Chain A
Amino acid sequence: MSDISSVLLIGGAGFLGLHLVQQFSEVKPTPKISVFDVRPLPEKLSKQFSFDPSSIGFFKGDLTSAEDLEKAIKESGCNVVVHSASPMHGNSQEVYELVNVKGTRNIIDVSKKCGVKALVYTSSAGVIFNGQDVHNADESWPIPEIPMDGYNETKAIAEDMVLKANDPENGFVTIALRPAGIFGPGDRQLVPGLRAVAKLGQSKFQIGDNNNLFDWTYAGNVADSHVLGAQKLLDPATSDSVSGETFFITNDTPTYFWALARTVWKADGHVDKRVIVLKRPVAILAGYLSEFFSKLSGKEPGLTPFRVKIVCAYRYHNISKAKKLLGYSPQVDIEEGIRRTLAWMDEKLD
């Protein structure tokens, strides 16, 4: 039996979660889909989604509670659990620990106990990032000993737990997917952040030489990779080659950081005639100054040395492994993805 009969999407009401619902609902034969989340599914769905919300099972619960989870797994009768719940960047270390570490531990234990066959975990490409440039990284790159920040540290711990829980002999298989730079309808960070920058009139500034490559990944494509991961885990012919493995997931088109930003601004009808380039060292210095003065004035600094380093870094990945073993290929290209994201933003659902 290798079909996904019923899937439980933990964090399924979130940004990536809704894309997961969409992509799983397009699988033939259509599996039973249930969502487990602290928040309900949105009342009004973006036009970018076509699934019928009334056909989706919903379990409200806390992912650190064994009781809540057990109830959802049993009632949904799922053979696949997808864990894509993740706190937003900028939360406290406590929240990261709670959701990423404690929550993941709980999901593994309860899934195993309830006889779930496969667990698909949404990790992050950030787990290998230590502030140094990442050039065409594949899965053989190590997790840094000194983590970049609490978020990436706890994601890496959770990923490790998921991989170690892989136990084919006892019928429980796991996989970890590491998407890089997710964007799409429902995105709260990448595209809305860029739109905000343009609104402030700051889009005419460019930090760095713009030779650094970056991966952006459309959320629908990330969701596709989860469907493929679940299918390959359940299929006896492929299960051994993918279980206990990690996979980078991108749009397979690394692009220069500012080219992506300017494409978003252009799609939004905003083209800067002249661009002012701030070289990296200058920008870092400006970042320190901005931080210093904002401490004096008590305002949030616009530019920080950390942000400068982030936008000047190379961070792109080699997804040969996902293409080969998962049969993954991005179905929505960047330009189309940006178009859909802006269309969703213009719906102004909130």
Chain B
Amino acid sequence: MGSLTQLLQHPLELKSALVLKYYREPLFPGEESKIANSKDLKRCYELLKLTSRSFAAVIQELNPELRDAIMIFYLVLRALDTIEDDMTINPSVKVKLLNEFDEKLDLDDWSFDGNGPNEKDRDVLVDFPYILREYHNLKPEYQKVIKEITRKMGQGMVNYVLDESFNLNGVETIKDYDLYCHYVAGLVGDGLTQLIVLAGFGDENLYEASGDRELYESMGLFLQKTNIIRDYAEDLEDGRSFWPKEIWSLYVEKLPDLQKDKSNGLRCINHLVLNALTHVNDVLTYLASINEQSTFQFCSIPQVMAIATLSLLFNNEKVLVENVKIRKGETCYLILKSRTLKGCVEIFQYYLREIKSKLMVEDPNYLPLNIQIAKIEQFMEEMYQDKLPAGVRPNETEIYLKTQERTKSDEKMAITFKMEENNFLMVVSYFGIAVLAIAYYTLFFNK
């Protein structure tokens, strides 16, 4: 179905798409010219757009204090990933490169032309000198974070390149699954969080360990696990898989069998969704800890996309054979709504209830899924505590206080929303008047 037809069937999403494209108030107007005036910076942003359109858009919206640092961070990791992913590179060359990649950041000039001709992101490595120059323009403390994470990720990748069992059999246990996700996504969350805290855009305690795992770890894992569940069919076709055997072996003997055994396939997907949902309370806590608006949006957009995607994947047998994606218009709606914490909480609640409504009693995880979703709803209640009887004071728990603090920023955003809404309605009404005028004209003057 074409996206226009889809939009027409979902008027709220059509409205969102229009507002997003034409009426959204930029947080930092006038920044584009600065980028255009610097040759290096301009090339870097071109590379960014080349590798990821959606990510480029979100990064460009960021507060100028962090924007370039995060852009460079992303490109460096993308470069690393482009080496790791390329099966045409000789393994020994690859291992050496991955191991030493962080040291390249100390050089003034370094590039790599050894990727295969079909590698779509090979330009990032060919044009690496642009990235290096901009990297050295960053604040030293930002450079340090980028370098540290690059080193850790490079070493993690080497472990997986050399791990024969992993390459042959994929991920064994849930613990291995979490560790794999840590290397490919948890570390990104680690670096981003360090940058955010250094810039003063989030609670200082965001970078401290709390409970079983750090909050930023959950931010990365929630996204990565969603992608891994979604990409089952595609990965299988490429001869790899990241679904942990500890879970899928409860349902079938061999992973590809899930494609034939639909009912066990669904159970397995749902089990993986249950596993991913254990990260949600951390995600909400993390979001409540971000006080700078552009950083908040940068963090919240991927998370709300993930919960929308999970809800689409849940109990959906299409996942077994193809790559399922949420509607474009839905994306627009989510981008606009996720600009406040309250909006994010409502999005999560909406999709959690969708998941609950698709859950079948026969599912072996029927009760555990219900309990996990309820746990998140209980947590949301604790965030706001807005259903207390008269005379009862809220419990001043950490999450409650964070939510209160963040709500102040939410309220500032409300003014922006009103403005966008008014601008949009004004144009819609002009448009309406114009249509009426034409109709009137046609009816009465053409007779």
Contacts and interface: CB of A to CB of B under 8 A. Distances in A.
Contact of B392 (A142, A253, A272): A142
B378 A316 contact: yes
Given A140-B392, A254-B374, A135 B381 contact: yes
A213 B367 contact: no
Given A211-B353, A272-B361, A256 B374 contact: yes
A144 to B, nearest CB: 8
Given A254-B374, A316-B378, A263 B367 contact: yes
Contacts of A262: 361, 366
Interface in A246-263: 253-256, 259-260, 262-263
Contacts of B362: 266, 271
B395 interface: yes
14 contacts: A132-B389, A136-B378, A136-B385, A136-B387, A141-B392, A213-B378, A254-B374, A255-B370, A260-B367, A263-B366, A266-B366, A272-B361, A320-B395, A334-B371
Interface residues of B, number: 23
Nearest to A144: B389
Interface string B354-387: 0010000110001110110011011001100101
Contacts, number: 63
Given A254-B374, A272-B361, A259 B392 contact: no
Contacts of A316: 378
A259 B367 contact: yes
B2 interface: no
Nearest to A209: B353
Contact of A141 (B367, B370, B382, B389): B389
Interface in A322-341: 334-335
B353 A253 contact: no
Interface of A: 132-133, 135-136, 138, 140-142, 210-211, 213, 253-256, 259-260, 262-263, 265-266, 271-272, 316, 318, 320, 334-335
B263 to A, nearest CB: 14
B395 A259 contact: no
B391 interface: yes
B389 to A, nearest CB: 6
Given A141-B392, A254-B378, A259 B370 contact: yes
B393 interface: yes
Contacts of A255: 367, 370-371, 374
A255 B375 CA distance: 8
Contact of A259 (B366, B387, B393): B366
A172 B42 CA distance: 78
Contacts of B374: 213, 253-256
Contacts of A136: 378, 381-382, 385, 387
